[in-house]
Amino acid sequence: MAIKLIVGLGNPEPRYDRTRHNIGFTLVDKLAKDWGMSWQEQKKFKGSLAEGGRAVKLLKPLTYMNNSGQAIRAVVDWYKLTAEAVLVVYDDMDLPLGKIRLRQSGSSGGHNGIKSTIAHLGTEHFPRLRIGIGKSRPDKDTVSHVLGCFTPEEAPLLQAVLQLASDAVVTAVDYDIPKSMNLYNNKNAVVL
């Protein structure tokens, strides 16, 4: 099944910019820039949509993370897409920074944005790309970690993992999810 929509999960307010929880937004912003696409807020979709340049659309839900499925469902219905044509990108604390994991389907793994997506699409059968943000330190609570910004020391690895994730998405779009999984699921981002 060809990918027609790539959704980056995140929260819309400026205070969430560059936070770990918004890495999905960060990746689709990179894709939009790389592909020469511009964002347009679409009230009917409850999100910002980027089109042009490629036969795929990009979406940033503006519903906040826990209600991401509302925006995804609106775009899926409008463009008559199947769930299998939607690739959702989001943060994962169980993966270290520098790792990604692409899957064709699966459970929410406790991620509220994915729970909402599953509820609104009515299925777990849609591809997803998890980008590792690492676990919180013992002296820092989980919420502060997830909603915190990456440190200056992490910046080079963050840029490297965003490039790795971008390469995985391009392969998934140009070929398919299994090929991208085979090429990228065991790779580590490398700082040059």
141: in domain: yes
In a domain, 115, yes or no: yes
- The reply to whether 170 falls in a domain is yes
Cα dihedral across residues 191, 170, 99, 25: positive or negative: positive
Contacts of 107 (CB under 8 A, 6+ apart): 118, 124
HSE-CB for 125 with a 13 A CA cutoff: 5
On whether residue 189 sits in a domain, the answer given is no
Q: Which of 21, 120, 125, 145 is catalytic?
A: 21
Helices (H), 1-137: 23-34, 68-79, 112-121
pLDDT digits (tens, 9 = 90+) for 61-91: 999 999 999 999 999 999 999 999 999 999 9
Residue numbers of the domain that contains 17:
5-184
Amino acid at site 40: Q
Q: What pLDDT shows up at residue 129? A: 98
Provide block-wise average pLDDT over 10 residues at a time, the chain (192 residues).
94 93 97 96 96 91 96 98 97 95 94 96 97 84 87 95 98 96 94 80
In a domain, 11, yes or no: yes
145 counts as catalytic: no
- Residue 190 placed within a domain: no
Instruction: Tell me whether residue 191 is in a domain.
Output: no
- What's the confidence (pLDDT) of residue 7? 98
Domain containing residue 172: CATH number:
3.40.50.1470
Is 138 part of any domain? yes
Q: How many domains does the chain have?
A: 1
